[in-house]
Amino acid sequence: MKSIALIGFMGTGKSTIGPMLAERLGMSFVETDALIEETAKKSIERIFSEDGEPAFRELERSVIQRVSLLRDTVISCGGGATIDQRNLRLLRMCCRVILLTADPNVLFERISQCQSRPLAKGITRPSDLVRLLEQRRDAYADHDFCADTGMLTVQEVVDAIVEWVGEQDPADDTLRVPVFLGNRSYSIVVGSGLLSRIGTEMRKAGSRGKVLLFSNDTVDSLYGQAALIALSEAGFECSKFLMADGESYKTLETAGRAYAACNQSGLERRSSIVALGGGVVGDVAGFVAGTYMRGIGLVQVPTTLLAMVDSSVGGKTAVNMPFGKNMVGVFHQPHLVVADHETLETLPLRDYRAGMVELIKHGLILNAALLDYLVKRPDMILRYEPTTDLTYAIAHSCAVKAEVVESDETDMGRREILNVGHTVGHALELACGYGRLRHGEAVALGLLAETTAANMVGLASDECLATLKECLSPLLKDVHLSDIDPATVCEALESDKKKRDGKVKFSVLQRIGSVRLGVEFDRMVLQDAIAKATHL
Amino acid sequence: MKSIALIGFMGTGKSTIGPMLAERLGMSFVETDALIEETAKKSIERIFSEDGEPAFRELERSVIQRVSLLRDTVISCGGGATIDQRNLRLLRMCCRVILLTADPNVLFERISQCQSRPLAKGITRPSDLVRLLEQRRDAYADHDFCADTGMLTVQEVVDAIVEWVGEQDPADDTLRVPVFLGNRSYSIVVGSGLLSRIGTEMRKAGSRGKVLLFSNDTVDSLYGQAALIALSEAGFECSKFLMADGESYKTLETAGRAYAACNQSGLERRSSIVALGGGVVGDVAGFVAGTYMRGIGLVQVPTTLLAMVDSSVGGKTAVNMPFGKNMVGVFHQPHLVVADHETLETLPLRDYRAGMVELIKHGLILNAALLDYLVKRPDMILRYEPTTDLTYAIAHSCAVKAEVVESDETDMGRREILNVGHTVGHALELACGYGRLRHGEAVALGLLAETTAANMVGLASDECLATLKECLSPLLKDVHLSDIDPATVCEALESDKKKRDGKVKFSVLQRIGSVRLGVEFDRMVLQDAIAKATHL
């Protein structure tokens, strides 16, 4: 069952109510502050005084990443844990979030008896508290249930929560990842069996008007019918556009034919295109939705693992040009992403594993807990099984992507951290000829090569490189590149479009959770690193 | 010479310093508050108490529209006049803006002696004033010169301003219209002889990297060389792409060839496309800039009157599809618009007059002072002369467009007020066959027909219709449509893409400055109105 997160200001009774609630519900209990102290091996008071609040928040964030991957657990969160939107996202998506409140006067009385809390020190009058509560308003605004611990007894609060939990669907293991982009915000819904619910999910997200289902022949034969039924049942007037399957059809010509289909179907500005398929379908459909009548609605329904955690999130759309991939496109955020991992049932094994590289990459760059979670589930990494574990892994990977996109919607800088492994990866794809390597495989090899190079020049730790090899090697079993000359790869690198001022720059993993942008490597170092990585 | 606007909080001495300054500079003097009282025929105190502050601000706004069209005038502005960004825009673009300030204690002493000011009533302590000044910070942040009237004597302040004005270029009659769109804000620079300065203007606006000059054969032969020289002299590495002249080349195919040119020229994400030409060039170049690498820089250098006040402002870009005009496009705001009206020298007379319709339309819907200004200059309306009067007219027309765009960047509703005349206008273009009518002529006829219909059903006043006829008739001298059947026009209307829920909706002028959206007309009324308008 989904975990329960207790949030609220200090003194609202999270630590008292949490264990009682866990016992009543037969769940485990964890307290983020206790986990932080355990990790730091010192008291929160000392963390604040010796390392400062930012260091505390950093620890808190990694603890939230860990606990949000747990199920059947009551999580008592530090009072400030949900100030950071990224923490709020993880709790919202994985837990039922319960806010505890109390009147400021009640809180003042409770807090003034406990001066060991670092943030309690500034509170000398109830009015200080009112001001602080006001500042925290956004952090507490978003929750599923709320209980006032000033008005009710502890037992009454526990009873009320248990009753409310009893009303929730225990089998519901669908996760919703919010992407915060102001008036372009949307949700990524992750789970199994969602295809039959896309229509109702679209209604929930506010979609109305006509719909064009945009797919390719292959995906259509598998899931087109189910999608059409789901859309019709929700009352959408729906037409269909199919492109041929394959990267070579990701062109302006295909977009041109799709525009005609939009017109034929009578789409208007409030209409939506539903992109059902992998990255190619998502990119072309997104580009068409972003440019038809200067932008209509877009819903992404990714059917590959890579598309679920990467291309369907973030609003990048594109078509290829004869002179380069993805050279023409727009940023156009979807209104909704529905990732039904049951569609991965029919995905070729190699594509599943290549997609898994992207999840690992997201763990490597921004979520060590996700990385750990993946490494501990070798079966899940190697082949598809319809498990809730996979739902959590996909949702957390989407959350990493969302975090990066939020900080850099139009790719002006920060998104570059997503490019780890991609510079050598692209060059490998070029050198091998497109089609021989899956994109994910190329990225995995690129990650290994770039991190090896970084390790050679002292930028990446031995431990980081070892972790990388451990988690990526199983996914590269089917890749054999002994015939590829590393010098050829280096040449392909120079023609990479990411070069700037004539020099090739790399986004390099230094250690888990830390990427350095704009790194340059000596040609010989790079060639050596590529040789080592490709002959793994 | 450009007027001088004195802004600042009440009590900073605008009314004292203004007349002295005007005398020293040989300028006229006006006070917006006095003009408001004159217009309303009652005191400001009574306007506030009887009609409320919003009514006062509305009057103030129309007075600012009037005075910002004046030259050689010292304008003393009410203390709150620049709270409204639209007023600030008009003053910034047309005047040298001088802020008068004084210490809050000094101000308090001055204000407490004058309780007739409506807003002074709430001020009982200097701290009230500090709070109010804080609220006004944005309103006073943007100015060209600032003088502290608490520290200096009145004479010293006047001397300081006179000295500063003496340092300004008296011949400078270039106007800059700011468009406020958050981090997509930009300026429209209007004047004559600006073509030779596009490179330096681009540098000022922060452009760097490579440039692709995008034009058509006709415009290139007239102004291409001058533009290239201006860009090169400012240090831009510049290539050129030419499309064929004409609406029929506004296609995805032309865009495709332009993308190849972008690639050939080595454009990167920070590079810019400079669109030199009329609406077609601007639309296609804008679409290419908005989609190449998911968006690169764009500078609009319009060379037709219509493009200057309409298509180059607001970020709408598009190409035509076989099934409809402007069906594919993006919103992509330029970094800069440079409108050099000397390029109108070579514009055919009919195109000049058709463009003038758009300026009149802008006056009709949102700026009665501009309309009055245009009507009083019949020579300017009928043929191009390189005058400063025209610079002011174009800049004010751009300001109207900017105001509408700011309130509705992606055309979700408010922009519809720009559609007055366009519904019948488009139908007329269709019924006559494209090419017979200039767009502006069709809009003028559409305005007449729609307002006639509105007048017939009691929505538009007789006076409004009479004004419309007076100002538009001179521009329609060359249009003869006696062969066109109004019934055919009505049929064309039904196929208009603006119809929603199957019904044709009109944006209708009710009186000068007031548009009603979503109006429906009875077919017979409409046909009758079209007959009257087209046989004018």
Rounded average pLDDT over A365-373: 96
Concatenating the DSSP letter of every residue in A195-257 gives: GGGHHHHHHHTT--S-EEEEEEHHHIIIIIHHHHHHHHHTT--EEEEEEPSSGGG-SHHHHHH
CB contact under 8 A, A295 and B252: no
What's the pLDDT band for B536 if we cut at 50, 70, 90?
low
Query: Structure tokens of A391?
Result: 């739902």
What is the residue type of B442? A
- Neighbouring C-beta atoms of residue B127, cutoff 10 Å: 11
Residue A493 has what pLDDT?
A: 84
Q: Which of A252, A323, A410 sits opposite B263 (nearest CB)?
A: A323
Contact residues, chain A, for B263 at CB < 8 Å: 321, 323-324, 327
Q: Which one-letter DSSP state was computed for residue A13?
A: S
The nearest CA of chain A is from the CA of B191 a distance in Å of: 31
The nearest CA of chain B is from the CA of A49 a distance in Å of: 36
Rounded average pLDDT over B413-421: 90
How far is the C-alpha of B106 from the C-alpha of A514, rounded, in Å? 56
Query: Structure tokens of B70?
Result: 């004046």
The nearest CA of chain A is from the CA of B287 a distance in Å of: 9
CB contact under 8 A, A263 and B295: no
Q: Which helix (H) or strand (E) holds A532?
A: helix A523-534
Q: How many helices (H) and strands (E) does chain A have?
A: 24, 16
3-state secondary structure at position B535: coil
CB contact under 8 A, B268 and A411: no
Q: Which of B295, B321, B330 sits opposite A410 (nearest CB)?
A: B295
Q: Which of B252, B294, B411 sits opposite A256 (nearest CB)?
A: B252
Q: Which helix (H) or strand (E) holds A518?
A: strand A514-519
Contact residues, chain B, for A409 at CB < 8 Å: none
CB contact under 8 A, A410 and B294: yes
Q: Kindly list the distances between the CA atom of residue B2 and the CA atoms of A207, B67, B96, B416, B428, in Å, as whole numbers in the listed order.
A: 52, 12, 7, 34, 42
Rounded average pLDDT over B446-475: 94
How would you class A155 by CB atoms within 10 Å of its CB: exposed for 0-12, middle for 13-18, buried for 19 or more?
Answer: exposed
Contact residues, chain B, for A324 at CB < 8 Å: 263
Q: Which of A263, A323, A500 sits opposite B327 (nearest CB)?
A: A263
Q: Chain centroid to CA B527: how far?
A: 33
Check: CB of residue B2 under 8 Å from CB of residue B94: yes
How far is the C-alpha of A82 from the C-alpha of A76, rounded, in Å? 12
CB contact under 8 A, A328 and B268: no
How far is the C-alpha of A245 from the C-alpha of A250, rounded, in Å? 9
How far is the C-alpha of B354 from the C-alpha of A367, rounded, in Å? 60
- Neighbouring C-beta atoms of residue B297, cutoff 10 Å: 25
Residue A501 has pLDDT above 80, yes or no: no
Check: CB of residue B534 under 8 Å from CB of residue B488: no
pLDDT, tens digit (0-9, with 9 covering 90-100), for A401-451: 999 999 998 888 888 899 999 999 989 988 888 778 999 999 999 999 999
Query: Structure tokens of B159?
Result: 């001397």
How far is the C-alpha of B119 from the C-alpha of A451, rounded, in Å? 66
Helix axes B439-456, B349-366, angle to 10 degrees: 40
Range list for CATH 1.20.1090.10 in chain B: 420-534
Q: Which architecture does CATH list for B175-407? A: 3-Layer(aba) Sandwich (3.40)
CB contact under 8 A, A294 and B252: no
The nearest CA of chain A is from the CA of B327 a distance in Å of: 5
The nearest CA of chain B is from the CA of A298 a distance in Å of: 15
Say how many residues make up chain B: 536
Range list for CATH 3.40.50.1970 in chain A: 175-406
| Of B338, B343, B295, the residue nearest B200 (C-alpha) | B338
Q: Chain centroid to CA A376: how far?
A: 19
CB contact under 8 A, B263 and A324: yes
Q: Kindly list the distances between the CA atom of residue B153 and the CA atoms of A81, B17, B18, B156, B231, in Å, as whole numbers in the listed order.
A: 57, 10, 14, 5, 47
CB contact under 8 A, A321 and B291: no
Residue B455 has what pLDDT?
A: 96
CATH of A175-406, one of 3.40.50.10490, 3.40.50.1970, 3.30.70.1150, 3.30.465.10: 3.40.50.1970
The nearest CA of chain B is from the CA of A427 a distance in Å of: 19
3-state secondary structure at position A267: coil
Q: Which of A291, A321, A497 to mutate to test the interface with B (most CBs of B within 10 A)?
A: A291
Range list for CATH 3.40.50.300 in chain A: 3-167
The model's pTM is 0.93
3-state secondary structure at position A147: strand
CB contact under 8 A, B410 and A295: yes
Contacts of B418 (CB under 8 A, 6+ apart): B361, B365, B401, B404, B507
Contact residues, chain B, for A263 at CB < 8 Å: 321, 323-324, 327
pLDDT, tens digit (0-9, with 9 covering 90-100), for B67-125: 999 999 999 999 999 999 999 999 999 999 999 999 998 998 888 876 666 667 777 88
How far is the C-alpha of B220 from the C-alpha of B213, rounded, in Å? 10
CB contact under 8 A, A294 and B322: no
Residue B495 has pLDDT above 90, yes or no: no
Residue A131 has what pLDDT?
A: 87
Q: Which of B263, B294, B327 sits opposite A329 (nearest CB)?
A: B294
Residue B463 has pLDDT above 80, yes or no: yes
CA nearest to A324 within chain B: B263
Residue B435 has what pLDDT?
A: 79
How far is the C-alpha of A93 from the C-alpha of A102, rounded, in Å? 25
Strands B73-76 and B28-31: parallel
Range list for CATH 3.40.50.1970 in chain B: 175-407
How far is the C-alpha of B533 from the C-alpha of B519, rounded, in Å? 19
Strands B336-340 and B506-511: unpaired
Residue A536 has pLDDT above 80, yes or no: no
Q: Chain centroid to CA A463: how far?
A: 25
Rounded average pLDDT over A77-99: 96
- Neighbouring C-beta atoms of residue A165, cutoff 10 Å: 20
Concatenating the DSSP letter of every residue in B296-343 gives: -EEEEEE-SHHIIIIITSS-B--EEETTEEEEE--B---SEEEEEGGG
Q: Which of A290, A322, A323 sits opposite B330 (nearest CB)?
A: A290
Rounded average pLDDT over B208-229: 97
ipTM of the complex: 0.91
Could you tell me the sign of the dihedral formed by the alpha carbons of B307, B313, B314, B317, in that order?
positive
The nearest CA of chain B is from the CA of A291 a distance in Å of: 5
3-state secondary structure at position B107: helix
CA nearest to A327 within chain B: B293
Could you tell me the sign of the dihedral formed by the alpha carbons of B333, B336, B342, B343, in that order?
negative
Residue B122 has what pLDDT?
A: 74
Residue B460 has what pLDDT?
A: 95
CB contact under 8 A, A327 and B259: yes
Cα Rg, chain B, nearest whole Å: 25
Residue B496 has pLDDT above 60, yes or no: no
Share of chain B above pLDDT 70, in %: 97
Residue B38 has what pLDDT?
A: 96
Contact residues, chain A, for B330 at CB < 8 Å: 290-291, 294-295, 330
Residue B262 has pLDDT above 80, yes or no: yes
CB pairs under 8 A between A and B: 70
Check: CB of residue B63 under 8 Å from CB of residue B39: yes
CB contact under 8 A, B329 and A411: no
Residue A350 has what pLDDT?
A: 94
Rounded average pLDDT over B395-417: 92
The CATH topology of domain A420-534 is: Dehydroquinate synthase-like, alpha domain (1.20.1090)
Residue B119 has what pLDDT?
A: 65
How far is the C-alpha of A466 from the C-alpha of A472, rounded, in Å? 10
How would you class B85 by CB atoms within 10 Å of its CB: exposed for 0-12, middle for 13-18, buried for 19 or more?
Answer: middle
CB contact under 8 A, A327 and B293: yes
Report the range of poorest mean pLDDT among A287-296, B261-270, B385-394, B432-441: B432-441
Check: CB of residue A517 under 8 Å from CB of residue A417: yes
CA nearest to B256 within chain A: A252
Rounded average pLDDT over A171-195: 95
CATH class, range B3-167: alpha beta
The nearest CA of chain A is from the CA of B292 a distance in Å of: 5
| Of B478, B477, B469, B475, the residue nearest B449 (C-alpha) | B469
How far is the C-alpha of B177 from the C-alpha of B312, rounded, in Å? 13
Residue A483 has what pLDDT?
A: 86
CB contact under 8 A, B331 and A290: no
CA nearest to A315 within chain B: B294
Of residues A494 and B410, which shows the higher confidence score?
Answer: B410
What's the pLDDT band for A497 if we cut at 50, 70, 90?
low
How far is the C-alpha of B497 from the C-alpha of B388, rounded, in Å? 39
CB contact under 8 A, A328 and B291: yes
Share of chain A above pLDDT 90, in %: 84
pLDDT, tens digit (0-9, with 9 covering 90-100), for A128-139: 888 889 999 999
What's the pLDDT band for B500 if we cut at 50, 70, 90?
low
pLDDT, tens digit (0-9, with 9 covering 90-100), for B423-458: 999 899 888 887 789 999 999 999 999 999 999 999
pLDDT, tens digit (0-9, with 9 covering 90-100), for A326-366: 999 999 999 999 999 999 999 999 999 999 999 999 999 99
Q: Which of A252, A290, A331 sits opposite B256 (nearest CB)?
A: A252
Contact residues, chain A, for B331 at CB < 8 Å: 294-295
How far is the C-alpha of B353 from the C-alpha of A234, rounded, in Å? 52
Query: Structure tokens of A327?
Result: 């050279």
- Using beta carbons and an 8 Å cutoff, which residues of A are at the interface with B? 252, 255-256, 259-260, 263, 268, 290-295, 316-318, 321-324, 327-331, 410-411, 500
Contacts of A60 (CB under 8 A, 6+ apart): A32, A36, A78, A80, A81, A84, A87
CA nearest to A502 within chain B: B266
- Neighbouring C-beta atoms of residue A142, cutoff 10 Å: 16
| Of B16, B43, B46, the residue nearest B29 (C-alpha) | B16
Place of tokens 């003496």: B166
A216 has which bridge partners? A243
Residue A496 has pLDDT above 70, yes or no: no
CB contact under 8 A, A263 and B410: no
Q: Which of A328, A412, A415, A499 to mutate to test the interface with B (most CBs of B within 10 A)?
A: A328
pLDDT, tens digit (0-9, with 9 covering 90-100), for B359-378: 999 999 999 999 999 999 99
Q: Which of A256, A294, A321 sits opposite B329 (nearest CB)?
A: A294
pLDDT, tens digit (0-9, with 9 covering 90-100), for B45-78: 999 999 999 999 999 999 999 999 999 999 999 9
CA nearest to A413 within chain B: B269
Q: Which of B262, B328, B496, B501 to mutate to test the interface with A (most CBs of A within 10 A)?
A: B328
pLDDT, tens digit (0-9, with 9 covering 90-100), for B340-352: 999 999 999 999 9
Rounded average pLDDT over A168-173: 91
Place of tokens 């454009």: B267
Contact residues, chain B, for A327 at CB < 8 Å: 259, 263, 292-293
